[in-house]
Amino acid sequence: MANWEELVELYTDYLIVVNGQATATGLSAVLDNEISHDKFTRMLSSGEFNSRYLWKKVKKSVPQVESEQGCLIIDDTIVEKPWTDENEIVCWHYDHSKGRNVKGFNIINLLYHSNDISIPVGFEVVKKPIVFVDKKGKRKRGSEVTKNELMRYLIQRAIQNQISFSYVLMDSWFASKENFEFITKHRKHFIAAVKGNRLFAGSLEDKLKGRFERVEELGLRDKESVRGYLRGYDKEVVLTCRVFTNKDGSTGRVYLVCSDVSLSSDHIAAIYQKRWKVEEYHKSSNPMLRWQNLPLKG
């Protein structure tokens, strides 16, 4: 007789592999009706599989690894569901890693990393309940809140849950003035990737006189850093450049900004390297991630 946790595991595995409509009846059929579809239906209606639920599952583990130098890692991922009927969760989202819209569900994840251990501590599913027609007559969906607002909500919950951390790590998608101000208001620091077209002033005088340059035109060498100001953000930051080699032998650059102006370029890069833990998390089959599929039941 499968218990509640085993039913969750079976259903989430089923959601990952099914291409069409996901139903409790369909899963029961896959299992040769060894488990009644009613049991899956009762399991799905027994509670909300949300961020609060996740926190209840992990909150005893966090104190075992946490430290003041811990990091919160924020990132989003899109799980493509091209054959599922469109709704407020499964719909079209812009995938900035592919540069195009894809059909699926978009999840914002918050990962806590400390002492070489990563623990998921929050998530939000992007919902688009607003249906409208654009100027070209195309039917589209919109959200009631932005992804940046969801990001700040997740960080706020982590603070309320008294998770110890010093840095919030994020990619350029979340590198906005509002997010920077929110993080530093809570006496935390951020390290974020920024695009090469962001504008930067190398001194307070240049900032006040409106003398900004594109980050990519500053001529920063690998591991070189400079203090200054991003346009639109009032506080001083450290800007550093890291040059990397792609698999095809070509080179690329990533520009990082950090609100902790006491850090060296190497220290900033070492902390930001931890952000890749969230990419490993996205690719894993961790049940904590798969729970977020549960609202997609048919």
Domain spans, the chain: 1-47, 48-296
Q: What angle do CA 52, 109, 162 make, to 5 degrees?
A: 50
Q: What is the pLDDT of residue 251?
A: 82
Look at the domain 48-296 and name its fold: Transposase Inhibitor Protein From Tn5; Chain A, domain 1 (3.90.350)
User: In whole angstroms, what is the distance from residue 127 CA to residue 144 CA?
Assistant: 8
**Cα 246 to chain centroid, rounded:** 23
Contact status, residue 218 vs residue 211, Cβ threshold 8 Å = no
Residue with structure tokens 């919109």?
A: 142
Those residues whose C-beta lies under 8 Å from the C-beta of residue 185, and which sit 6 or more positions away, are none
Q: What is the pLDDT of residue 287?
A: 37
Contact status, residue 184 vs residue 155, Cβ threshold 8 Å = no
Q: What is the pLDDT along the chain (298 residues), one digit of tens a residue?
A: 577 677 777 877 787 777 767 788 888 888 888 888 888 788 777 666 788 888 988 999 999 999 999 999 999 988 888 888 899 999 999 988 788 999 998 999 999 999 999 999 999 999 999 999 988 898 999 999 999 999 999 999 999 999 999 999 999 999 999 999 999 999 999 999 999 999 999 999 999 999 999 999 999 999 999 999 999 999 999 999 998 887 777 888 999 999 999 999 999 999 999 887 666 655 553 333 343 343 333 2
Question: Helix (H, G, I), strand (E, B), or coil: what is residue 112?
Answer: strand
Q: What is the pLDDT of residue 121?
A: 95
Structure-token pair, residue 170? 């994020």
Contact status, residue 114 vs residue 66, Cβ threshold 8 Å = yes
Residue with structure tokens 């929110």?
A: 182
Q: What angle do CA 294, 297, 298 make, to 5 degrees?
A: 175
User: In whole angstroms, what is the distance from residue 55 CA to residue 157 CA?
Assistant: 10
Q: What is the pLDDT of residue 18?
A: 74
Q: What is the pLDDT of residue 31?
A: 85
Structure-token pair, residue 212? 């900004």
Q: What is the pLDDT of residue 47?
A: 62
Residue with structure tokens 């607002």?
A: 149
Residue with structure tokens 């218990």?
A: 3
User: In whole angstroms, what is the distance from residue 189 CA to residue 58 CA?
Assistant: 24
